[in-house]
Amino acid sequence: MLRRPSFAFFLIFLALFGGLTAVGNAKRVSTGAQPSTASGAGYRFDRGGWMYVHLEGTPSEIGFQHGQLLSAEIADLINVMKVETLHDTKRDWNFYRETARKMLWPHIDAEYQQELEGIAKGAQSKGAKLDVWDVVALNGWFEVPSYYVPWLNKREKAVNAPHILPEGRCSAFIATGSYTKGGKIVVAHNNWTGYADGERWNVIFDIKPEHGHHILMDGGPGSITSGDDFGETDAGLIITETTITQFVGWNPEGKPEFVRSRKAMQYANSIDEYVSIIKEGNNGGYANDWLVGDRKTGEIAYLELGLKNTPLLRTKDGYFVSSNFPRDPALIKDETEGFDTANASNSMNARHITWERKMAANKGQIDVNLAQAFLGNHEDSFTGKTAPSTRTLCGHTDGDPKGVPEWGDAPYDPEGAVSGKVTDSDMAANMSLIARAGHPCGEDFLAGPFLAKHTEFSYLKPILRDMKAGPWTQFTAGQKQ
């Protein structure tokens, strides 16, 4: 007869297994489902190259679960941020921690302060050497280096300061009515960023907060918002965005973008409420073109969110496309460094042309399957060729000899599309989406051969990893495996 293990032995086994899982999952898993781990009402499993993380409860509980379940990954991503921000902005991590403490923290709602503190405590409980200022600085990664630092350099008349331009991130569309199959809303988005951080931006967050709406979104370890802002809620809203190229502006008394975007997703019941919340206390950080749909009404909207100019377009029969190009003439004039709308050779305008062609050619047929194909597309509208580059919807700067000067990206910069996400009204009604980790086209990026060929990026050697594409994988809120 087998002896039943003692309860003490069972606890030791769980602790050991949980620790090993946290360490082992610091690298992206590209295939298959992995055993889940738990923290209170929260749990995690790995599937298709993604880490699915369910969080539930009060702000502190959600934060603590987040920190425990992703402790190794949070510490790892902070290390990536230290390397990238020092190289790009010439300011060390202590600067970002102090900015988090002095500038960001006083403008963060108490609810999200509690969640951020919970993340730090949860990670610390698993042995991570970090504190709340590291976590806040990590959340401010989208806005502080590219928006606040240039503003500060100009204000302080910093000598030999680097010319910092906000990176363009993402290709996206939202369509409804006669443009889609069955008239439902269809949304698609691929996230563009550096491969070092993008390879780690592979979490599907399923958040069920004590107050507000249930959220399903992608994101990075340690972040309270999506970051590339692809998500859906049980209020019927579907949300995504792309950044505005060459945007300039910062309000030091404003509320951080990562707080406004999370709050809008969590509490908005309609497009109007979403717009109101995301605009409230706008600090100018991470300025985006927002694509928002309401599956309850079939209406979609396009909000170009500058500091001075915030035009809103909406329709129940049509589409909006976005690929980092500013649209509003007043915003272009007042709030960008002279974005050239006539330059068909740049990444933003070339992708814009491709999107318009795709919408026109597929009117009435657009669905999630076509959306996946669009996100992996390698057509170059400028040259007429089909080959991955910075001008294709699925971006590959690492193979492009011209880079993206409008973003400050050098030739062959290891940057581009790092994931794809799609959904439609029917899927969103069930809180479900389909996502692909890595290049949406399915190509792999291999760090070793790239670094051997491009020694100018040797500073990335400690943090740049292979980014292998996973399969298109469906996720649903509340699933267990």
39-67 exposure pattern, b = at least 16 Cβ within 10 A, e = fewer: beebbbbbbbbbbbbbbbbebbbbbbbbb
**pLDDT tens by residue, 143-199:** 999 999 999 999 999 999 999 988 887 999 999 999 999 999 999 999 999 999 999
Is residue 245 within 8 Å of 225, Cβ to Cβ? no
391 closest CA partner among 416, 410, 414, 372 = 416
Strand partners, 379: 386
List, for the chain, all residue ranges whose pLDDT scores fall below the cut of 70: 1-35
Question: β-strand 318-322 against 203-209: which pairing, if any?
Answer: unpaired
* Residue ranges of domains in the chain: 171-196+246-476
Give, to the nearest 10 degrees, the angle between helix 110-125 and helix 59-69. 30
Residue 45 neighbours by CB under 8 Å, 6+ apart: 33, 34, 35, 36, 37, 51, 52, 480, 481
The mean pLDDT value of the chain amounts to: 93
Residue 476 tokens read as 């649903």
Four-residue CA torsion sign, 91, 97, 101, 103 = positive
Instruction: Provide the CATH number for the domain formed by 171-196+246-476 in this structure.
Output: 3.60.60.20
Is residue 27 within 8 Å of 452, Cβ to Cβ? no
419 closest CA partner among 285, 141, 228 = 228
Tokens 């994931």 -> residue: 419
pLDDT at 415: 97
